[in-house]
Structure 1
Amino acid sequence: MEENITPDQTLDCRGLSCPMPILKTKKLIGTMKPGQILEILGTDPGTRNDLPAFSKRSGHEYLGEKPDEGFSRFYIKVK
Protein backbone atom coordinates (compact mmCIF):
# COMPACT_ATOMS: atom_id res chain seq x y z
CA MET A 1 0.00 0.00 0.00
CA GLU A 2 1.15 3.52 -0.74
CA GLU A 3 2.26 5.48 2.29
CA ASN A 4 1.07 8.92 1.22
CA ILE A 5 -2.61 8.47 0.46
CA THR A 6 -4.63 11.67 0.58
CA PRO A 7 -8.30 10.82 1.06
CA ASP A 8 -11.04 12.94 -0.47
CA GLN A 9 -13.40 12.00 2.37
CA THR A 10 -13.07 10.32 5.76
CA LEU A 11 -15.77 8.16 7.35
CA ASP A 12 -15.44 7.60 11.10
CA CYS A 13 -16.84 4.15 11.98
CA ARG A 14 -14.92 3.75 15.23
CA GLY A 15 -17.05 2.03 17.84
CA LEU A 16 -19.47 0.62 15.25
CA SER A 17 -19.82 -3.12 14.67
CA CYS A 18 -20.89 -5.14 11.67
CA PRO A 19 -22.81 -4.37 9.50
CA MET A 20 -22.77 -0.60 10.19
CA PRO A 21 -19.28 0.20 8.78
CA ILE A 22 -20.18 -1.44 5.45
CA LEU A 23 -23.63 0.18 5.29
CA LYS A 24 -22.19 3.63 5.98
CA THR A 25 -19.35 3.04 3.49
CA LYS A 26 -21.79 1.97 0.78
CA LYS A 27 -23.96 5.04 1.34
CA LEU A 28 -21.04 7.50 1.26
CA ILE A 29 -19.34 5.89 -1.75
CA GLY A 30 -22.58 6.41 -3.67
CA THR A 31 -22.07 10.18 -3.36
CA MET A 32 -18.42 10.16 -4.49
CA LYS A 33 -16.92 10.55 -7.95
CA PRO A 34 -14.74 7.94 -9.74
CA GLY A 35 -11.09 8.30 -8.77
CA GLN A 36 -11.80 9.73 -5.34
CA ILE A 37 -10.44 7.98 -2.26
CA LEU A 38 -12.45 7.20 0.85
CA GLU A 39 -10.72 6.66 4.20
CA ILE A 40 -12.67 4.59 6.73
CA LEU A 41 -11.66 4.66 10.39
CA GLY A 42 -12.67 1.44 12.13
CA THR A 43 -12.30 -0.54 15.33
CA ASP A 44 -14.38 -3.63 14.46
CA PRO A 45 -12.05 -6.58 13.65
CA GLY A 46 -14.54 -7.83 11.04
CA THR A 47 -14.03 -4.69 8.98
CA ARG A 48 -10.60 -6.02 8.00
CA ASN A 49 -12.32 -8.77 5.97
CA ASP A 50 -15.54 -6.97 5.10
CA LEU A 51 -14.11 -3.92 3.30
CA PRO A 52 -11.92 -5.82 0.80
CA ALA A 53 -14.87 -8.14 0.02
CA PHE A 54 -17.25 -5.19 -0.34
CA SER A 55 -14.80 -3.40 -2.65
CA LYS A 56 -14.43 -6.43 -4.88
CA ARG A 57 -18.20 -7.04 -5.08
CA SER A 58 -19.00 -3.42 -5.82
CA GLY A 59 -16.19 -2.87 -8.34
CA HIS A 60 -14.13 -0.42 -6.29
CA GLU A 61 -10.40 -0.72 -5.59
CA TYR A 62 -9.35 -1.64 -2.05
CA LEU A 63 -6.05 0.15 -1.43
CA GLY A 64 -5.25 -1.40 1.95
CA GLU A 65 -5.14 -0.50 5.61
CA LYS A 66 -2.85 1.26 8.04
CA PRO A 67 -2.95 0.53 11.77
CA ASP A 68 -3.28 3.54 14.05
CA GLU A 69 -3.55 3.85 17.84
CA GLY A 70 -6.58 1.77 18.79
CA PHE A 71 -8.09 1.66 15.31
CA SER A 72 -7.28 1.08 11.64
CA ARG A 73 -7.47 3.30 8.58
CA PHE A 74 -8.87 1.60 5.47
CA TYR A 75 -8.70 3.06 1.95
CA ILE A 76 -10.99 2.48 -1.02
CA LYS A 77 -10.65 4.11 -4.44
CA VAL A 78 -14.03 4.74 -6.07
CA LYS A 79 -14.42 3.31 -9.57
Structure 2
Amino acid sequence: MDIQLINIGFGNIVSANRIIAIVSPESAPIKRIITEAREKSLLIDATYGRRTRAVIITDSSHVVLSAIQPETVAHRFVVNKDSKDS
Protein backbone atom coordinates (compact mmCIF):
# COMPACT_ATOMS: atom_id res chain seq x y z
CA MET A 1 0.00 0.00 0.00
CA ASP A 2 1.39 3.39 -1.03
CA ILE A 3 1.48 6.20 1.50
CA GLN A 4 -0.63 9.13 0.32
CA LEU A 5 -0.19 12.48 2.02
CA ILE A 6 -2.66 15.38 2.14
CA ASN A 7 -1.67 19.00 2.81
CA ILE A 8 -4.01 20.40 5.47
CA GLY A 9 -2.57 23.91 5.44
CA PHE A 10 0.47 25.81 6.67
CA GLY A 11 2.84 23.02 5.64
CA ASN A 12 1.05 20.39 7.74
CA ILE A 13 0.47 17.01 6.17
CA VAL A 14 -1.58 13.97 7.23
CA SER A 15 -1.67 10.45 5.88
CA ALA A 16 -4.66 10.08 3.57
CA ASN A 17 -4.76 6.34 4.23
CA ARG A 18 -5.61 6.97 7.91
CA ILE A 19 -8.46 9.48 7.40
CA ILE A 20 -11.95 8.31 8.31
CA ALA A 21 -13.84 11.60 8.11
CA ILE A 22 -13.41 15.28 7.30
CA VAL A 23 -16.14 17.32 8.97
CA SER A 24 -17.12 20.85 9.93
CA PRO A 25 -16.58 21.79 13.60
CA GLU A 26 -19.94 23.54 14.01
CA SER A 27 -22.17 20.80 15.47
CA ALA A 28 -22.37 19.85 19.13
CA PRO A 29 -21.35 16.20 18.56
CA ILE A 30 -18.17 17.27 16.75
CA LYS A 31 -17.38 19.76 19.51
CA ARG A 32 -17.76 16.86 21.98
CA ILE A 33 -15.37 14.73 19.92
CA ILE A 34 -12.82 17.57 19.98
CA THR A 35 -13.16 17.98 23.76
CA GLU A 36 -12.79 14.24 24.38
CA ALA A 37 -9.74 14.06 22.11
CA ARG A 38 -8.16 16.99 23.99
CA GLU A 39 -8.76 15.24 27.33
CA LYS A 40 -7.19 12.00 26.03
CA SER A 41 -4.22 13.86 24.43
CA LEU A 42 -5.31 12.72 20.97
CA LEU A 43 -5.94 16.22 19.59
CA ILE A 44 -3.56 17.72 17.02
CA ASP A 45 -4.13 21.44 16.48
CA ALA A 46 -2.74 22.41 13.06
CA THR A 47 -4.58 25.75 12.86
CA TYR A 48 -1.66 27.99 13.90
CA GLY A 49 -4.06 30.01 16.05
CA ARG A 50 -6.59 30.55 13.30
CA ARG A 51 -10.23 29.56 13.35
CA THR A 52 -10.89 25.82 13.03
CA ARG A 53 -12.72 25.11 9.79
CA ALA A 54 -12.18 21.37 9.35
CA VAL A 55 -11.92 18.48 11.77
CA ILE A 56 -10.13 15.39 10.49
CA ILE A 57 -10.82 12.13 12.29
CA THR A 58 -8.35 9.29 11.84
CA ASP A 59 -8.57 5.55 12.33
CA SER A 60 -6.22 5.82 15.32
CA SER A 61 -8.77 8.05 17.12
CA HIS A 62 -6.59 11.13 16.63
CA VAL A 63 -8.46 14.32 15.83
CA VAL A 64 -6.71 16.92 13.68
CA LEU A 65 -7.91 20.52 13.52
CA SER A 66 -7.29 22.44 10.30
CA ALA A 67 -7.83 26.08 9.35
CA ILE A 68 -8.90 25.26 5.78
CA GLN A 69 -12.40 24.33 4.64
CA PRO A 70 -13.48 20.65 4.70
CA GLU A 71 -14.30 20.90 0.98
CA THR A 72 -10.73 22.01 0.23
CA VAL A 73 -9.25 19.14 2.21
CA ALA A 74 -11.61 16.68 0.52
CA HIS A 75 -10.75 18.09 -2.91
CA ARG A 76 -7.04 17.63 -2.21
CA PHE A 77 -7.80 14.08 -1.05
CA VAL A 78 -9.70 13.26 -4.27
CA VAL A 79 -7.18 14.96 -6.59
CA ASN A 80 -4.29 13.16 -4.87
CA LYS A 81 -6.12 9.82 -5.11
CA ASP A 82 -6.93 10.37 -8.82
CA SER A 83 -3.33 11.24 -9.64
CA LYS A 84 -2.15 7.99 -7.99
CA ASP A 85 -4.66 5.93 -10.02
CA SER A 86 -3.44 7.33 -13.36
Which range, TM-score by smaller chain?
A: 0.3 to 0.5
TM-score, with structure 1 as normaliser: 0.34
Q: Quick check: which one's helix share is greater?
A: 2
Q: Scaled by the length of structure 2, what TM-score is found?
A: 0.32
